[in-house]
Structure 1
Amino acid sequence: MSTYDRPLRKLGFLTIGLFDEHDPGPGHESTLQIIELGERLGFDSAWLRHRHLQHGISSPVAVLAAASQRTRHIELGTAVTPLGLENPFRLAEDLATVDVLSGGRLNPGVSVGVPTHYDDIKAHLYPDTAELEDFSYARVERLLHGLRGEPVSTFEGTQGIETFSSRIQPHSPGLAGRVWYGGAGFASIEWAARQGLNLLTSSVIRAEDPLEGDGDRFAGIQRAQIDRFRELHPLGDDARVSQGLVVIPTDSASRAQVDRYEAYAASRLPRTLEPQGPGRMMFAADLVGTSQQIADRLHAHAGFQAVDEVAFALPFTFDHDDYVQILTDMAGVLGPLLGWRPAHRTTE
């Protein structure tokens, strides 16, 4: 495995969009304001996690539709939408609509698999077809089929005064090429590469390779996955890969904020020490410190060395003011230390 460092070309951030169950409006508004701030600071992209039956955004496509009308430049993504809870036909319509509204800025990130707590929700999710549903890669293929404008109906023409199309409407050219796959293991990453998709790799991967010994095992596995992805992808080294570690710069943070950030990271550190659960999932440690300290750690991270795009994840439970401070330091201090320069920045 060769070691090389790509200058950071695209700087993005990812948020869960936390809200109060009893008063969800302010939390959703906070998320929209954070996306607006990201645009003012020059971030290239803002991504929303997809959370069902939790107090995080359950409909990122709807929220991104609102964000598309409050921003002009920043790219908007989902990281990721679990397709097991979606109808690919209807999702393709929604994604294409938001892409049109945003002027071609949407980056849909998706994954497949049996939905979380499926036995508990299947009676309401798929009351008549729960045992027949296909949660394989075929769901991604159906979504791509629709986004590419390929036929989804055998009828096309006029019926009475109504005109019908055989393809998803609206059709947004180029959207299918901006679909990302959230992969954690080699099998899914290899499949995504062969499909020509973009790759989202995060702070969670599967410990399924023989890498042992000295060094950061998480970083080594992640790097091996990225290298394998580009080896199989039609675009080779030019295939797009975005990394999503949890990164918390403290340059302008108050002492109280620093203490909270460090306590947060410490509480999550035990899960990073060994693979977790039957799926043997590995978690990366949260990076907390000055931008210079974080930049030094990232430059030494084998996975980061292979990417030129990131969507740094914001912690789930912090306050709005914390996110403002973190994003401001990311764009103003950390990003430039990583070689990044904003394509757009406003002072409004």
Structure 2
Amino acid sequence: MERFGTLSFGHYGPLGGGRELSAADSMLQAIDLAQGMDELGVNGVYFRVHHFARQQASPMPLLAAIAARTERIEMGTGVVDMRYENPLHLAEDAAAVDLISGGRLALGVSRGSPESVVRGYEAFGYTGSTDPRGADLAREHFARFLEAIEGKGMAELDASSPFGGRGMARIEPYSPGLRSRIWWGAGNRDSAEWAGRAGVNLMSSTLLTEDRGLPFDELQAQQIRAFRDAWREAGHPGEPRTSVSRSIFPITTAEDELYFGGRQDGDGVGMIDGMRSTFGKTYAGTPDKLVEQLLRDAAIHEADTLMLTIPSQLGVEFNLRLVAAFAEHVAPSLGWRPTRSSAE
């Protein structure tokens, strides 16, 4: 494990006891948390994107704000639902954030996760899908998005315009390195292999839409290896990046014990989106126990980046302490070193 960061679902709403976390609170706290993690030397801060839900739905303004307040930390998504996206508009926004950040955007995209609404992307104006889950729309939009960020001409110049010319115009702004920092969120081996052939990085979460009778970490490790094989067979240069996400809670205080004691559980299997799926376990315990368990996690061994799902509703101070405990007591035993060491 070379890098680690946090994955936030960005939930807001009632917290109980008469307390309410607003959308503004959620975003402003996310910026403060990212700044604190940048100072700790953590590598990345990533956000889930959900529409029609009290979560982050429009991540680009948030990522731009984080870029302006931080120096080293990578920022990104896990993942943007391409069914909902205008690919050229997304290409403009992504390039702008990447340029503002100095090339620190890690944009994770995919078909998206199960929704709380029926075919919500149609309400955004994207109709015509022949797939019950809209996977065809996601792939179509993604292909167009890749062409745009690669700098290909997207519209014919108007020779009669004083601002035009001849040939095809690319999307502006254009960020030359952005193409290498695009990730596909794969839910099974087939989509992982597809991502490898497409030449994009791989994000794999704590849910896989397949069940092969294997422990979750081994199933995910196989997915990562299949992705790398597909990448090499397609002839892409260099080594792709791969990430996995985990729910990991170091228990170092009585407050941690109150929230996470007894939360340790095993893998789960169930139906989601009409598919038999495998869910990853939650890790919670003292740092020494976590190190012992995580060293046996096959997928963490395979991936270069680990994303910790964090309880963002508990506030900046609590989550910074949680992340700092992982950075100090757990991550070094998995091979991690803080980014600030190389900067200094």
TM-score w.r.t. structure 2 length?
Answer: 0.86
Asked if 1:329 is matched to 2:325, the reply is: yes
The aligned counterpart of 2:183 is 180
The aligned counterpart of 1:100 is 99
Q: Which amino acid aligns with 1:78?
A: T
Change (3 A) 1:284 1:315: farther
Worse-superposed segment, 98-107 or 311-320: 311-320
Asked if 1:85 is matched to 2:87, the reply is: no
The aligned counterpart of 1:43 is 42
**Per-residue Cα deviation, 1:67-97 (whole angstroms, up to 9, x for no partner):** 0100011111111001001111110010001
Question: Tell me, which stretches of 5 or more residues in structure 1 are unaligned?
Answer: 1-7
Change (3 A) 1:231 1:161: closer
Contact kept, 8 Å, 1:114 with 1:135, in 2: the verdict is: no
TM-score w.r.t. structure 1 length?
Answer: 0.85
Change (3 A) 1:160 1:250: same
The aligned counterpart of 1:250 is 251
Match of 1:153 among 120, 143, 155: 155
Question: Tell me, which stretches of 5 or more residues in structure 2 are unaligned?
Answer: 15-19
SS in 1 for 2:339: coil
Change (3 A) 1:9 1:273: closer
RMSD: 2.6
The aligned counterpart of 1:190 is 193
Asked if 1:9 is matched to 2:11, the reply is: no
Q: Which amino acid aligns with 2:283?
A: L
Q: Which amino acid aligns with 1:155?
A: L
The aligned counterpart of 1:274 is 269
The aligned counterpart of 1:240 is 241
The aligned counterpart of 1:32 is 31
Structure that is richer in strand per residue: 2
Aligned length: 327
Deviation at residue 207 of structure 1 after TM alignment: 2.4
Change (3 A) 1:13 1:160: same
SS in 1 for 2:330: helix
SS in 2 for 1:18: coil
Asked if 1:313 is matched to 2:309, the reply is: yes
Asked if 1:143 is matched to 2:138, the reply is: no
Contact kept, 8 Å, 1:76 with 1:106, in 2: the verdict is: yes
Contact kept, 8 Å, 1:245 with 1:284, in 2: the verdict is: yes
The whole-number CA distance in structure 1 between the counterparts of 2:163 and 2:84 is 35
Contact kept, 8 Å, 1:110 with 1:180, in 2: the verdict is: yes
The aligned counterpart of 1:225 is 223
Change (3 A) 1:276 1:169: same
The aligned counterpart of 2:202 is 199
The whole-number CA distance in structure 2 between the counterparts of 1:249 and 1:114 is 27
Q: Which amino acid aligns with 2:140?
A: A
